[in-house]
Structure formats: C-alpha cells, structure tokens
Amino acid sequence: MKKLSLMLCICLVVGLLSGCVGTTVVYHENCTCPTEPVPGNEPTEETKPMPTDDVTDAEYVKTGLYIGTNLSGSTNATAEEAGKADYDVTLVAVTVDDGGVIRSCVIDSIGTSVAFDAAGVITSDVNAAIATKNELGESYGMKAYAGSKYEWNEQAAAVAEYAVGKTADELRSGAVTEAGKAKDADLATVATIYIGGYVEGILAAAENAQHLGAKSTDVLKLAALPSVKSSKSAEGENPGLAQLDVDVTALTMEGDVITSCYIDSVQAKVAFDATGTVTTDLTAPVATKNQLGENYGMKKYAGSAYEWNEQAAAFADYVTGLTAAEVEGIAVDEGTKPTEADLAATVTIAVGGYKALVVKAATAQ
C-alpha cells in the first residue's frame, strides 16, 4: 500500500502536471494544414526525487502525455441539414530518457460529434458510449470504406514504433514531408494517413515529460474516458452547448504495479444558439486543465485550497506504487470524493472517474 507522505504529495503537485504544450491537431487523411502550438502555459521542468536504490537492469525515464483538440469540422444547422459540434482529439503517451531519446510511445485518437437542429435542439444520443480509434480497431473502417491496406490503429502503431529510439530533433527532421505524410519509405508503406499532427503530439509529449518513477523496462499504457453527457439544447435566450469531456492518463507498469502516472483532462465546448448557429470561435486553442492551471478557477471560484492540476497530480502520485485492484479499492464517499486521510487532505474533487480511468489503463492488454 501507499507509503508516500502528504508532505511529499504537496511538494510535488505544483510541478507534476504543469501542462502539456498543446497543438491544435488536424489529422484527417486529406488534411494538409500545419499545426500550431497553443500559446502560453509552457511547461517547466520539476523533477521528482529519484529513488536511491541501485538500478542494474534499467534506467529511469520520464513519462509524458499530450492531448490536442480540434473543433474546425463543426458546422451550423440549416433547414435542410443538422449542424454539429465536431471533435478531433489526438492522444499521445511517451517515455523519454535523459538524453532526449523516446523509449516508448502510444498514440490514440477520438473522433466524435454532437448533432443539433435549426431550433438548437440536440439530436444525438449524448449518453452513448464513445470509443477511441484504437478501441474501434477494424470497426473504424479504413479498410472497409477507404480501401486502405492498414487500419487506423495499425497505422498509428507504426508511427509510434517509428518514433522509438529517436530524439525530438531526429523525429522532427525525418518523419514527415511538407504535406504531413510519412517521409521514411518503410513507414510510408504502412502509414498512408496524414501524420503531421501525430508527430507534433509526440514532440509535445516528450517536451513536457516528467520523472515520475518509470524505468525504461516498464510497460507504457494510455487510456481515455470520453463523454458528451454535459451537452444541452438551446432554450429561449439560453444558448445550447455541445461539450466533450475527456479524462486521459499515461501510466507505466512493472508487472501489475503502477510505476508512474500522468493525468490530464480537456473540456471541449461548442456553443450554438436557438437557430443552430455555432457561436464559439472554432479556431481558438483548446487548453487542457493542466495547461489552464490557476485559470481553471477552483481556488478563485470554488474556494478550494488546491487547483485542479494540483489535485490531479496528487491523485496520480497516490496511485503510483499500487495495483489496479488497490486503486479500485481506494475509499470514497457517496460523491466519490476520497475519504482516506492522506489523499483527502489534498484531493477534494470527486475521483470516481479517475479511479476508473487508471484501472482501465492498468488492465488494458
């Protein structure tokens, strides 16, 4: 069980998840537009104290996570056709050594939408489950409907494999053409999709990676829990809102024990009025909660002693060293807020979803 003290937890939370360097990622196969970094909230390096035991079979590495969200496919409703809030979310997890070499990489993506009519009424089932592209596998349909030789998850895995063993500079200079396609001949035989956004995501994840306890021999896992349940139709003068909430974790494991954990979340919002007209600036960067930091407002508006990013970092630190079963067994109240004293001292938010997220990642094959 946990042996970490509350004092260590509080010292770590400020820098543990200081935010990913975001890029607005467009990864449709026919996309040729470049990606741009989200301004501000650049990460600062704050290294977790390294263990003092001798490491003979592996070196300690950093764990990094990236979430990039694009809303540009969203459209207004007309009398003939429904409008939609369209979400393209790219997810990347990496481990990186102190020399800047990527040691492992996992890529996934979420593509979903919320439809609404010309009266501003949502017509999608907002309670339907949302699968990532890796989870969809063959069901995503690149082979069946696009005549592709390789499915999306196979192509994404090839890009991730290509990144392993390379530094950021090597990846930046050799991975993609000006059109965002694979430059390497071997990679191009598998990855025919636009990969520019994925490469930018790998670079961003590597840049914000932190020493959280992972070793180079650990297994890297990536998991997400997306939902649009917070969406609502327009009513009178009150605008409608299509909202995608995605909680994401990158974690590493040695056997069945979590050796590092990185958690972030994004709330991607598209507002529309009672005529089905989108009122959100679709070109504006979508920052994650870690990137927002103090601007998320838990201290300012909810009177919390700790901001969301600090609490997420504390929870991630708390589950490090546990098994999936032990994470599942973390005591919570009816609102899923933690009741264990050490954890509850810093983490006052509901953690039921984060428990499920970590368990999902830890038990994934």
Per-residue pLDDT tens digits for 39-61:
444 444 444 444 444 444 579 99
Residue type, 125: D
51-99 pLDDT, tens per residue? 444 444 579 999 999 999 999 999 999 999 999 999 999 999 999 999 9
Tell me the mean pLDDT in the region 165-173: 94
Distance CA 212, CA 47 (A): 8
Q: What digits encode the pLDDT tens for the residues 304-325?
A: 999 999 999 999 999 999 999 9
Distance CA 342, CA 197 (A): 40
CA dist., res. 285 & res. 73, Å (int)? 14
Going across the sheet that includes 83-96, the strands are 102-116, 83-96, 60-70, 210-215
Residue 122 pLDDT greater than 90, yes or no: yes
Averaged pLDDT for residues 105-123: 98
Q: Is the pLDDT of residue 127 over 60?
A: yes
Question: What span, in angstroms and rounded, lies between the C-alpha atoms of 74 and 279?
Answer: 11
pLDDT of residue 30: 37
Q: What pLDDT is stored for residue 58 in this prediction?
A: 77
Q: Give the pLDDT of residue 57.
A: 59
The span from the CA of 164 to the CA of 92, in Å, is 13
Q: What is the mean pLDDT of residues 225-237?
A: 96
336-361: average pLDDT? 97
Q: Using an 8 Å Cβ cutoff, are 47 and 209 in contact?
A: no
- The pLDDT mean for the chain works out to 88
Q: Please, which residues bridge with residue 263 across strands?
A: 249
Query: At 146, is the pLDDT very low, low, confident or very high (cuts 50, 70, 90)?
Result: confident
Q: Which of 3-7, 188-192, 258-262 has the lowest mean pLDDT?
A: 3-7
Reply yes or no on whether the pLDDT at 291 is more than 60: yes
Position 103 confidence tier, pLDDT thresholds 50, 70, 90:
very high
pTM: 0.84
How large is the average pLDDT for residues 102-119? 98
Give per-residue pLDDT as tens, 20-41. Answer: 333 333 333 333 333 344 344 4
* pLDDT of 67: 98
pLDDT (mean) for 282-303: 96
Query: What's the average model confidence in pLDDT over 115-120?
Result: 98
Q: Which alpha helices (H) appear in the chain, and where do they start and end?
A: 6-16, 133-136, 142-146, 152-163, 168-174, 185-188, 196-207, 289-292, 298-302, 308-319, 324-328, 341-344, 352-363
Helices 308-319, 6-16: inter-axial angle, 10-degree rounding: 120
